Structure 1
Amino acid sequence: MAVQMRKLDSSAPDFKKTLDALLAFESETDDAIESSVAKILADVKRRGDDAVLEYTNQFDRIPDGGATSMAAFDVQQSELDAALNALPDAQRQALQVAAQRIRVFHERQKQELNGFSFTEPDGTVLGQRVTPLDRVGIYVPGGKAAYPSSVLMNAIPAQVAGVQEIVMVVPTPDGVKNQMVLAAAAIAGVTRVITIGGAQAVGALAYGTATIPAVDKIVGPGNAYVAAAKRRVFGTVGIDMIAGPSEILVLCDGSTDPDWVAMDLFSQAEHDELAQAILLCPDADYIAQVEASIHKLLPTMPRAQTITTSLGERGALVKVRDMEEACEIANAIAAEHLEISAEDPLHWADRIRHAGAMFLGRFSSESLGDYCCGPNHVLPTSRTARFSSPLGVYDFQKRSSIIQVSEQGAQTLGKIAAELAYGEGLQAHARSAELRIKS
């Protein structure tokens, strides 16, 4: 099985145009999907549990004639604990260690997010109070693949933030439950697990039903139907982001084993055919070595067909003038995962402004970040790292401004506020401030 990756050169006159075309990804708004999702959401909003039950039986092919009540989709805590205890020792320990590392990182993150207050000379107190959301919904994919790591990455920051209710929904096609996903829910402290998915699960979480409480925010990835549903319910609830295909960008100075870099490119390309893997390097000979490694290692991959399609359609090996230019191009790409595989990675990291997560040095493979380093693996894609951040404790908190004006402060601030209010033609605003000024 051969793969033909694009080979680009940054010195070519049409390089920017070619790169822009390669990076372009519009999450296709398929009219049929949008229409279907709109119908499902409206139905869930109108009929509640009955609609959720009907769609789940239909789409997830629930066996034995389907479920007859929503109670069939609730997973009891005892089942979560049993799933955890039944795992092979190595799997259970891996989940527990990963969860602990994720928890430690996000607890440290929370320390940096505390509120503040200060008192002005006249006694006025100003500040900010940080409080957790009451209830959040976590969507965990359960179709083609199962992702226990996503359970940990979504639930643990919510728990660290202080969210009291974490409701997890996960589809179980043909009624098959993934035991590692259930075990991860037990470890992460999920308060309720419901085996439903698709747009109907998003609608149930957003609007609430007789058996499913409405949440304040929905996080977690899903298929095109889930993404379309999240877009539509935003405003009724908060959402984390609309996730696009996975991406990796490797900046390499030519000092890393080419097999390592080839496998790092594979690690994202194996997700799906639309994933993107790009190498930037100033050494043409090294790029040829990586290409040779790709051809050598590809036949050993169980997901070789997916990797071949991904690398062939959206991947690239790019020759750049130098590492400085590589950093400039990296900022334009604003990749989800950025590996700086170089002798002095910190030197180049200082030049990076836009990346979901940076993996510094040849031993920092992106796959370690996906599972167990500690920082969150839910990252902005499709160049949204220019203005978005990884999922974190802050996504499960909100901030309230604190304003306690002293009597003395009201004399000064009242005059300023009244002047501005009269300028805007809002007389009641002005008089409200003036009434507190001593005559």
Structure 2
Amino acid sequence: MAMNAIDQFNQEFCQDPKNMLAMNAVTKNSITDVAMSRSAFVNAQHTFSHLVPLEGKATSQKSSGRCWIFAALNVMRLPLMAKHNLEEFEFSQSYMFFWDKFEKSNYFLESIIDTKEKPVDDRTVMWLFQTAISDGGQWDMFVNLVNKYGVIPKDAMPESYASSNSALMNRMVLHKLREYAKQLRDLNESGCQISELRKLKNNQMKEIYRILCIFLGEPPKKFDWQFRDKDKKFFDFQGVTPKEFMKKHVPFDINDKVCLVHAPTQDKPLNNVLTVKYLGNIVEGFPTRYLNVDINVIKQAAAESIKAGEAVWFGCDVGKRFHRDIGVMDMDLYDYNLVIGTDTKLDKGARLDYGDSAMTHAMVFTGVDIQNGKIEKWRVENSWGDKVGSKGYFIMTDKWFDEFNYEVVVDKKYVSQDVLNIEKQKPIELNPWDPMGSLAD
């Protein structure tokens, strides 16, 4: 930029007293505090026309990216609590985290073997190097874990330092995986058969297992489950395996759900199945699959689920038009145009295309407010503890849902047969770096 142009910018800025007022306010305060709409704040009432009959206390993922695991387990705990008449219950998030890390490591090394002939600076290979062991995940990845490893109560495998503060563990495991990737690629270049590569990979995975046990503890093969229900009646289940626990104590059919998304971009036509290359955790598990449908189909399915008493797992871009402390997601919460004289004008599809938005966080819908047949807002269970929002529960306006909610998971009975028939189509495979391949964390 030419200096005379910059001088002109400065002159025009200083001539407008509104700019000076805004500068004085924003240089001393957060822009979110200055721009917050008083009316939107006052209207953020935690009342809803429809609520699921049972809610648990807010959980906390702490300094980790396990929101997708927390959200899924929070959905699953509600039918268990109802079945056993429990006041409170938590599954072990650390148990799921352990097996996710283990399986993601194997998935990464298998992907390295799959891409062994590509140059090391190939975009896909570089993407694999960057994303090998992230904390985030998607619904189908959770289904894979439950089907293979089951679930356990939190007491059977409590939190460790690394499960609640995962950054250093991730860094160390990622270093080893990149080292192992080089070993596999070097072995391939030396002319070895794929059987030799997999033999080396199995030895590498033994080391990964050992490292994860040191950080997270060893996952139990069996455990005892003792509790008193709300009527003070005592129960004692001895020597339960994780898969037995899921089958006998959790009345939740995890394999009869459907994942609906709204991705309104030209390369993702509605009423199609989407999948993402190299997005997964268990090699032999289900691939991640989304049914890309109209936003109203998603909202109707979520609302019907809640009205029937079933909570809903969902994925959104939580950081947009959001206030963490009061727990409100509202398109009208901040009047940035009033303060800085401009606002963002990209629509939902453009935000996806231009890297301005993606699914960044998973939470749970436990309520919906419907007035005169129109959805006004949603009740959201987060996993950031009970010090934010209303004891850990948030409000999402329906306008915000339209713009920044991307995904819900519901039982298939809440979706029409026409929508379910979309599953029969051949999936559109997206690139690994597509925004719909982002992991909720």
TM surpasses 0.5: no
TM-score range, shorter chain: under 0.3
Q: TM-score, normalised to structure 2's length?
A: 0.23
Higher RCO (C-alpha under 8 Å, 6+ residues apart): 2
Structure 1 or 2, whichever has the larger Rg, is 1
Q: TM-score, normalised to structure 1's length?
A: 0.23
